[in-house]
A and B are shown apart, each in its own frame.
Chain A
Amino acid sequence: MIHSLFLINSSGDIFLEKHWKSVVSRSVCDYFFEAQERATEAENVPPVIPTPHHYLLNVYRHKIFFVAVIQTEVPPLFVIEFLHRVVDTFQDYFGVCSEVVIKDNVVVVYEVLEEMLDNGFPLATESNILKELIKPPTILRTVVNTITGSTNVGDQLPTGQLSVVPWRRTGVKYTNNEAYFDVIEEIDAIIDKSGSTITAEIQGVIDACVKLTGMPDLTLSFMNPRLLDDVSFHPCVRFKRWESERILSFIPPDGNFRLLSYHVSAQNLVAIPVYVKHNISFRDSSSLGRFEITVGPKQTMGKTVEGVMVTSQMPKGVLNMSLTPSQGMHTFDPVTKLLSWDVGKINPQKLPSLKGTMSLQAGTSKPDENPTINLQFKIQQLAISGLKVNRLDMYGEKYKPFKGIKYMTKAGKFQVRT
């Protein structure tokens, strides 16, 4: 399976290599660099690159390429999914996953990678098992270790590794028992020129932070579970129970985890909470263009729309823009031609707008297409699909936990074509 792993930063340095079978020379990465050059942009690098003797599978995250070298047929998603899991684990261990952090913690990184794969086949990928085997570095622990001479390496097989609930440690103890659930929905939409919706769908997740003592068995039920069209679960959720009763029943992992991600069926009409009025025009004759956009609330169920951010990739011909916003800050990068406008809260009485002119390169003809506008926003205390959690019950433990549910709606890939 996975032969070797190379970590490559954006400037093309291989700053970490790890081999699980016999050593593969790092010159194999030359093929990767070639492909990278051809792709010009980092995100256009093909995830699978064949070379004469190996195949390079890579993922690009946090400005680092994680390049896995494999030699024989293997499901590509297997490797890609695993690489993403590696990144997630690093993030979990160190808070951030960056070149600097990895270099600083190279020994821990190495130890973790060693445990994650054996002979190229995943061995332990559950973060709580890994954390028992190799404890994440913290200031306190480093200090204690230097003084007492103890180590970060566990010498017992984590109990989770053998149990069928590998995601949960035994003997968890908290003084405050609490379980928080965040229902976060993202609206993916494409709005056309005239303001009508071309496609819109809702993707939601329920992220949980569960800090409960012992082995609690939780059930979470919804007021309207029929809304959920397609779901994927954390392995802890009992699938049959969901199938038959539409109830989430699970023994939760300890700490933060994603319980569920779901998709609200496309048949349901999606309420679009904001609209964008735009007037962007280039004229063939003059080297000036007009630019004007206004953002306003539409179907917000009485909640305020916050954190609004407008970005737009302007055509190459635009040299500069002189704009005045009615609120918020705006920037235009003349090199990347990226316009961004941080609007903030939308006040329905006084709609935020951004007006001004664009100066175009002289001599070139007007661009074919007006730029698309990407929108970001947040609405607190609202799940736009109308999903509501009915109740959360706990079995198996005696104490009364503190429970909390939070709803939020965000823009996912929200585009307005102009």
Chain B
Amino acid sequence: MEQGSLLAKISEASCNIRSVLEMAGSLQVTLKPEPSVEERELANAAADQYEQNLTVNEDLKQMLESNKDSAKLDAMKRIVGMIAKGKNASELFPAVVKNVASKNIEIKKLVYVYLMRYAEEQQDLALLSISTFQRALKDPNQLIRASALRVLSSIRVPIIVPIMMLAIKEASADLSPYVRKNAAHAIQKLYSLDPEQKEMLIEVIEKLLKDKSTLVAGSVVMAFEEVCPDRIDLIHKNYRKLCNLLVDVEEWGQVVIIHMLTRYARTQFVSPWKEDGVLEEDNEKDFYESDEEQKEKDQKVKKPYAMDPDHRLLIRNTKPLLQSRNAAVVMAVAQLYWHLAPKSEAGIVSKSLVRLLRSNREVQYIVLQNIATMSIQRKGMFEPYLKSFYVRSTDPTMIKTSKLEILTNLANEANISTLLREFQTYVKSQDKQFAAATIQAIGRCATNISEVTDTCLNGLVCLLSNRDEIVVAESVVVIKKLLQTQPAHHGEIIKHMAKLLDTITVPVARASILWLIGEYCERVPKIAPDVLRKMAKSFTNEDDLVKLQILNLGAKLYLTNSKQTKLLTQYILNLGKYDQSYDIRDRTRFIRQLIVPNEKSGALSKYAKKIFLAQKPAPLLESPFKDRDRFQLGTLSHTLNTKAIGYLELSNWPEVAPDPSVRNVEVIELGKEWSVALGKAKKEKPTEKFYSDSEEEESASTTDTESESTSESEKEKNGKEEGSSMENSESSSEELSDSESESKEGSAKKKFKTTEESDSDDTEKKTKMISKKRESSGSSDSESSSTEESSSDSESESDSESDAESRKHKNAIASKRKQMAVPEKKASSKQDVSLLDLDDFNPVSTPVAVPTPAILSPSLVADLEGLSLSRSSVIDVSSPIFVPMKTHELLHRMSGKGLAAHYHFSRQPCIYGNQMVSVQVTLTNTTDQKLENIHVGERKLPAGMKMHVFNPIEFLEPEESITVSMGIDFCDSTQTASFQLCTKEDHFNVNIQPPVGELLLPVTMSEKDFKTEQGMLTGMNETSTTITVAPQNSTRLVLLEKVVKAANLGVVPSGQDNIHRFSAKTVHSGSLMLVTVELKEGSTAQLIINTEKTVIGSILLRELKPVLSQG
């Protein structure tokens, strides 16, 4: 498209191009006039193909040996063309393999393609190329490393197994996640080449399973499934990580991981179905018939079922994937819900599955099959979507029949009349196969729903007069089955069908009619002998199936009405005796012995009548999908209804859950990460990840450049040695071991630890600088907070809640924005005063906590009073937020060489990420010159903290100021974010330390909710103190205002006048923070804070104390 428009715009250019093209074309023609001709001949004449091939190949060889890249490329392209067509190009191997080290990347790639195809056949020659790959494995370019590994592992030559093993091991520790992904793929290749390596490979898999990159996760799980699906123990430690990464993994990986986790969950958790089984039994009668369920019922340990939080985690984290555009992902989630979720929750998948029916025919086919299986067991799931399964005349037959199957499964008393009307249309369909299937479906509905049996039967009888034989035949068969279920009074129908025998020719139908007449011969005493007479006449021309039934009819009549039919029967038996089919001869002999009494016949003949005319159980009309549920849904085995090679059985739920603690991850190493991931709302994950990944990338690239210098010298060496491959491989293997040890040294774990250590050092120092008091307690506080974070976060239920809250929050903000603009300036002018105050208060408040924004000087309070009065009504009604205008100094103009910077917390949800606190930075130019290129330079953030900086400001005019916004993820701690503020010439180190009140986002909830939440956060999670309240603070309005100023809390409407409740959640992890102020007599008050984040809670408590106690 782009090119097109280009050409259109510049017509002149296009002319030029055309002429160049022509020239190029003629050039090519002059280069190789023969091949094109030859190729044409090749295609045409297959006879002398071999000879032609020889000459072509000769030609190609020459081209490959030329020293022009273009000729080589041409040759390779033609060879790839040959491979694609399936022609043999193996004899070119020596000529091609020489080019494996070509500098031209396209030639190289095509050679790779060739190698993968033919290396297996020419193993010895293939070895020539190995050294090239070994060299490429060291290449600084990750794409080249990856593709070298890819090709090396694809060359199926057993001799190089050790080399492959080594390469895989090394690549699995590569810094680039892309290379590690390829390593995971290589594991499977090596395993299929040499299963003996299994143990070693499992080690690598174990290592890669720990990988945190989303890129690797899918591939390594695939390798796990292929190599060691039974080593479920490897998953334990990674289970939660996989659950949490799932949303960010690429779609193909998601499918594999979901299937694996489904199997895993079935071995690790107890059934969630026991409990609601009792409830649902009424509407789903037939579901609980399986043995397993029966057992469960018998046992029925009366113990309330509580779902394992890990089980819940999996179910919750897969839910958003139902919205995926990839049908395979949706199906995978659907089967997960089917096999793992409580019955009451599985329903949510039906909508998404129905959506897939809009997709391609192949997708429809598979999805319909799975829905068919589901709809047998749980009708309710798909009943609301009944009409989505209505058949269109343009559907392919296989789709039509699957839809019909589902419609039949869904039929019940309520919808049967509409369904039957719909079926009537289908019966008339021009697609006769489908019409026949519809008749069967009607039959099934008739047996399943007794109310409509008669209606259906009448309808089917009408069909007997249909012109199409297939339809009639099918109707006969179905009527036969129906009559069997209730033979009471259907003499008329049988008579009608007896008449049909004259016209109908389809064997099955004829056989069915004969059987019916025989079975109920006593109801039609006049007709039956006559039918037998007719049949005796045509016996020899009948189909085997019909012959057997004639014999049957004869026998039955002989027993009931021997007077009329004795001779006829004997005649038929004689005919049968000499029939061509031994089956019929056999049957004849058997019947004769049984019914015709003679001396040889034993005691059995006495019971002949009982044998022939016994009450027969009616056939059950069942869905062909009845037994498919033995296979896991969404699998190939399910589609084929046979066990496919490599199918992994889904185990039954264990009676007692295995120890859940195996999934716990060591607290120090991963705990922090883990809590972060858990608390994170999924939506923001991408952005989060985006940053962390880019960091990873950066680090990868830096190390790349580091290694470049060494590898370059290697390259030079290799360049010299190109001819002798032996030497090369030696040296390269040395290199391998070298770099291995190197990479071990710099392994990620260690780095992580060290950075963490240094970080905590950093923060300690800073706290010292700020307060100089109670250092020890401060540092221990921050330590404990980190452990607290990791332990407390095993469940984050607030996900959905907090979403709703944030919505409200947004609304509130819109109104706030307007208000903000005005007071901003005012506040900045007052800033000096407030800073002074801070110093005064600091001894009272804690050393860790930084200036609280609400500790304002009286004058400022008075200033703000006017504002807040008007706002107080707002607080009570809906919006719980108050935006403090207090700014903090980031950079003083003196130390900033004229650049002054202030910051304040806008209390808006940050647009850069949900876990970030948004910070407004006001930059002022106090010099008399333009300041240019103001931007954020180097950042020094404690581990886990993230920062979204503002876009660089091109210039700032003298005396001008500009406000920009940043987002900082403080990880729910009061640690300092330090970074450099740079101008064109200078850079200044600055810090932002958040007051604890700004680490919160207000939440609205009802009093009742508040109390229930509070009830859950008692004991350890509760901190309280008694304070004296200044008299002016005891009125509700003032108190609310003060508290809300001090911390970003939402007001909870309270029934009692003396109790005030506030709620919020922490920005990073979303844990609830509940504050209660209970005013007592004698100007004292009880201040209670309930939160999981006890550290923040206690800091907040200490901060709120002075707010309330002082005027």
* A complexed with B: yes
**B-contacting residues of A (Cβ < 8 Å)?**
1, 14-19, 21-23, 26, 41, 43-44, 46-48, 50, 55, 58-61, 70-78, 80-82, 84, 106-107, 109-111, 114, 118-119, 121-123, 125, 138-140, 142-143, 146-147, 149, 151-153, 155-157, 161-166, 190, 192, 198-199, 201, 203, 229-235, 238-241, 243-245, 249, 258, 261, 263, 266, 313, 315-316, 365, 367-369, 372, 374, 395, 398, 413, 415, 417
Cβ–Cβ < 8 Å partners of B467 in chain A: 365, 368
Q: A266 vs B388: C-alpha distance in the bound complex, in angstroms?
A: 9
Identify A72's interface contact among B331, B393, B646, B696, CB under 8 A. B646
Which of B327, B429, B642 sits near A369, CB closer than 8 Å?
B429
Which of B17, B154, B251, B642 has the most A CB atoms < 10 Å from its CB? B251
A-B contact pairs, 27 of them (CB 8 A): A16-B84, A21-B189, A48-B639, A55-B644, A71-B646, A72-B645, A73-B645, A73-B648, A78-B255, A80-B360, A82-B252, A106-B84, A107-B77, A109-B84, A111-B109, A111-B113, A121-B185, A138-B3, A157-B176, A161-B178, A162-B215, A163-B690, A165-B690, A240-B803, A244-B806, A245-B810, A261-B325
B309 at the interface (CB under 8 A from A): no
Seed contacts A72-B644, A73-B644; 8 additional CB < 8 Å A-B pairs? A44-B398, A84-B362, A110-B80, A114-B113, A139-B17, A152-B106, A155-B141, A155-B144
A172 to B320, CA, bound (A): 30
4 closest A-B pairs by beta carbon, nearest first, are A240-B683, A72-B646, A244-B803, A151-B106
B150 touches A (CB below 8 Å) = yes
Q: Which of B150, B355, B687, B914 counts the most chain A CB atoms within 10 A?
A: B355
- Tell me the residues in window 675-717 of chain B with beta carbons closer than 8 Å to chain A beta carbons: 681-684, 686-687, 689-690, 693-694, 696-697
A residues near B697, Cβ cutoff 8 Å: 162-163
Q: What is the minimal beta-carbon distance from A190 to any residue of chain B, in angstroms?
A: 6
Q: How far is the CA of A16 from the CA of B636 in the complex (A)?
A: 25
> Which of A58, A77, A109 is packed against the most chain B CB atoms within 10 Å?
A77
- The complex places the Cα of A42 from the Cα of B468 at a distance, in Å, of 25
For B68, give the chain A residue with the smallest CB separation: A149
B397 within 8 A of A: yes
- Residue pair B392, A75 in contact (C-beta under 8 Å): no
B 374-402 binary contact with A (CB < 8 Å = 1; else 0): 00000000001101101011101110000
- The docked-state distance in angstroms from the alpha carbon of A146 to that of B106 is 13
A15, A114, A198: the one within 8 Å of B85 (CB): A15
What residue of chain A has the Cβ atom nearest to residue B107's Cβ? A151
CB pair B113 A110 closer than 8 Å: yes
Instruction: A121 to B644: give the CA distance in the assembly, Å.
Output: 19
Query: Contact at A122–B328, with CB atoms within 8 Å?
Result: no
Quick check: A22 and B156 within 8 Å, CB to CB? yes
Closest A residue to B149 by beta carbon equals A118
User: Please, what's the 1-or-0 string for B11-30, where 1 marks a CB less than 8 Å from any CB in chain A?
Assistant: 00000010011001001100
Chain B proximity of A370: nearest CB distance (Å): 9
A238 touches B686 (CB 8 A): yes
CB <8 Å contact, B693 and A73: no
Q: Which of A81, A122, A153, A203 contacts B105 (CB 8 A)?
A: A153
Chain A proximity of B824: nearest CB distance (Å): 22
Q: In the complex, which of the residues B17, B185, B365, B392 contacts A415, with contact meaning CB atoms closer than 8 Å? A: B392
Query: Are the CB atoms of A149 and B70 closer together than 8 Å?
Result: yes
Question: A16-B85, A76-B366 given as contacts; is B911 within 8 A of A395 (CB)?
Answer: yes
Interface residue? B925 (CB, 8 A): no
Which residues of the other chain, A, contact B177 by a CB distance below 8 angstroms? 162
C-alpha gap A398/B164 in the complex (Å): 50
| Other-chain residue from A47, A76, A106, A234 in contact with B80 (beta carbon distance below 8 A) | A106
| B17: chain A residues within 8 A (beta carbon) | 139-140, 143
**Which residue of chain A has the shortest Cβ distance to B689 in the bound complex?**
A164
Q: Which of B87-145 contact A (CB under 8 A)?
A: 104-106, 109-110, 112-113, 117, 120, 141-144
The minimal Cβ–Cβ distance linking A241 to chain B, given in whole angstroms, is 5
Q: Which of B366, B392, B694 contacts A77 (CB 8 A)?
A: B366
In the complex, the answer to whether A153 meets B84 with C-beta atoms within 8 Å is no
Q: By the criterion CB–CB under 8 Å, are A240 and B394 in contact? A: no
Q: Contact: B80 with A107, CB < 8 Å?
A: yes
Contact of A119 with B178 at beta-carbon distance under 8 Å, contacts A73-B648, A239-B323 already known: no
- How extensive is the interface on chain B, given as a class? 35 or more
Q: A48 and B693 in contact (CB under 8 A), knowing A157-B178, A239-B683, A369-B430?
A: no
B-chain residues with CB within 8 Å of residue A143 when the two chains form the complex: 17, 20-21, 24
- Known: A121-B219, A155-B105, A163-B694. Contact between A199 and B682, CB under 8 A? no
Contact (A165, B255) CB under 8 Å given A151-B106, A199-B390? no
- B110, B141, B259, B693: the one contacting A164 at CB < 8 Å is B693
Check B250–A44 contact: CB distance below 8 A: no
Contact in complex: A198, B422 (CB < 8 Å): yes
Tell whether B428 is near chain A: CB-to-CB under 8 Å: yes
A243 close to B392 (CB less than 8 A): no
Note all chain B residues with C-beta closer than 8 A to A55: 636, 640, 644
Are A230's CB and B803's CB within 8 A? no
- Contact residues, B341-375 vs A (CB, 8 A): 351-352, 354-355, 358, 360-363, 365-367
Distance of A191 from chain B, by nearest CB (Å): 12
**In the complex, A153 Cα to B394 Cα: how many Å?**
44
| Cross-interface CB contact of A243 among B387, B640, B803, cutoff 8 Å | B803
Across the interface, B686 reaches (CB within 8 A) one of A119, A125, A164, namely A164
Contact assessment for B647 and A73 in the assembled complex, using a CB-CB cutoff below 8 Å? yes
Instruction: Name the A residues within 8 Å of B807 (CB-CB).
Output: 244-245
Contacting residues, chain B, for A107 (C-beta < 8 A): 77, 80-81, 110
**Given B84, B384, B911, which contacts A110 in the complex, CB threshold below 8 Å?**
B84
Interface positions, chain B 282-334, Cβ under 8 Å from A, are: 320, 323-328, 330-332
Interchain CB contact under 8 A, B430 and A313: yes
Which residues from A are CB-within-8-Å of B644?
50, 55, 72-73
Task: Answer whether A77 and B327 are a contact pair too, CB < 8 Å, given A119-B154, A198-B387, A315-B430.
Answer: yes
Q: Is the CB of A368 within 8 A of B468?
A: yes
Is the Cβ of B323 less than 8 Å from the Cβ of A231? yes
Say yes or no: A149 contacts B141, CB within 8 Å.
no
Option from A73, A190, A232 in Cβ contact (under 8 Å) with B392 = A190
Question: In the complex, which residues of chain A have a beta carbon less than 8 angstroms from the beta carbon of B684?
Answer: 238, 240
> Is B920 engaged at the interface, CB distance under 8 Å to the other chain?
no
Please name all residues of chain A whose beta carbon is closer than 8 Å to the beta carbon of B422 when the two chains form the complex. 198
